[in-house]
Amino acid sequence: MSFRRETGMPRGGPDGGDGGKGGDVVFQVNPQISTLLDLRYKKVYQAGHGEKGGLQNMTGASGGDLIIEIPVGTVIHLEDEDPIDLVTTDPVTLLKGGRGGKGNWFFKTSVNQAPEHAQPGEKGETKKLRLELKLMADVGIIGFPNAGKSTLISRISAARPKIADYPFTTLVPNLGVVRLPNMKTIVVADIPGLVEGAHAGQGLGIQFLRHIERTRCFVHLVDGSEFTEHSPAKAYQIICDELKKYDDSKDAIGLPLSQRKQIVAVTKADSISEVRWIEILKEFTPLGISPILISAISGLGLQELLTAVEKLVSANDASEVIQDGQESNSEEH
């Protein structure tokens, strides 16, 4: 609130300017960032304040927007609101700055030519949120611990995960870029071993189940050797049950995990006799599954597996194109 004071103008009238708008908080996906580490050690983020209005009807400067860069695949969890899934580079304005208040010049009328009040500015929005990063991959490799997932991804890509002969060797998901027979490249995720009860937190639990929400299809590895606790078909069914229970326990992103396409591969072919292989095939026959026999050590069956992955990924790509273009095609016809 101010009044014009100049020589020769004893009644200059009100000249208090408006306040500036507060800055917005914007989240922007940056493909060059791969982790949330930069955000770990700072708990409070605040956009710039709008400046006060000035004399001579000068409007205060607006506060600067705060742009927070995050990696692709970040999910923003808000209190009492649906989560926001950021998989594109489009900026998302999460919090809006408050509007600036009006100066006393705004309230001048023919009746009240010298208003002695101004409007205070609005407060900006404040929210508590939690950020979660989920892996982005075309294919997820799933299966029991020691089924050969890490060995497989080390053979078909340049990824070098830890490999050992004890359960839960892999403690973090690994990503590898795989070149398919048609020269197309895809991203494959080695998901740490799941066990019975994983949907309820057993083993490494849902902290890794959630990562496969973003994979379009699965390569399901089962140990075909005779030294495992479960038969190959039984191990396959246990993991599939865990996917179904996980779907029932929460809203998964996109298609439910239990409904996504799978390629079943029986690993450790070096230790499987011909008689044993026939028995395994008989176990999967009632399930309508024809598994692929592979050995990540010798390379047996890996080319056949990659060819099957190529067909499955291509089929998914085609279905997505059809689904996206269905409405426009119907309008054209």
Report whether pLDDT(140) > 80: yes
322 vs 233: which has the higher pLDDT: 233
What is the pLDDT confidence band of residue 206, given thresholds at 50, 70 and 90?
Answer: low
Report whether pLDDT(193) > 70: no
Q: Would you put residue 183 in left (φ > 0), alpha (ψ -120 to 50) or beta? A: left
Residues of the chain above pLDDT 70, percent: 81
Q: Which residues pair with 293 in a beta bridge?
A: 266
The per-residue pLDDT for range 99-127, each reduced to its tens digit, is: 988 988 888 888 888 888 888 888 888 99
What is the pLDDT confidence band of residue 326, given thresholds at 50, 70 and 90?
Answer: very low
CATH architecture of 139-328: 3-Layer(aba) Sandwich (3.40)
For tokens 């009238």, what's the residue?
13
The DSSP code sequence of 238-275 is HHHHHHHHHHHHS--SSS-GGGS-EEEEEE-GGG--HH
286 vs 109: which has the higher pLDDT: 286
238-to-56, 215, 230, 243 alpha-carbon distances in Å:
75, 20, 9, 9
What is the pLDDT confidence band of residue 24, given thresholds at 50, 70 and 90?
Answer: very high
Considering the entire predicted model, what is its pTM?
0.62
**Dihedral Cα 233, 234, 237, 242, nearest 10 deg:** -140
Report how far residue 268's alpha carbon sits from residue 195's, in angstroms, rounded to the nearest whole number: 19
Report how far residue 235's alpha carbon sits from residue 229's, in angstroms, rounded to the nearest whole number: 9
For position 45, what pLDDT does the model report? 92
The whole-chain average pLDDT of the chain stands at 80
CATH 3.40.50.300 range(s) for the chain read 139-328
For the ranges 22-26, 151-155, 249-253, 317-321, the one whose mean pLDDT is highest: 22-26
CATH 2.70.210.12 range(s) for the chain read 8-133
CATH architecture of 8-133: Distorted Sandwich (2.70)
For position 257, what pLDDT does the model report? 83
What is the pLDDT confidence band of residue 210, given thresholds at 50, 70 and 90?
Answer: low
Report how far residue 118's alpha carbon sits from residue 101's, in angstroms, rounded to the nearest whole number: 7
Kindly state the average pLDDT of the residues 67-96.
Answer: 85
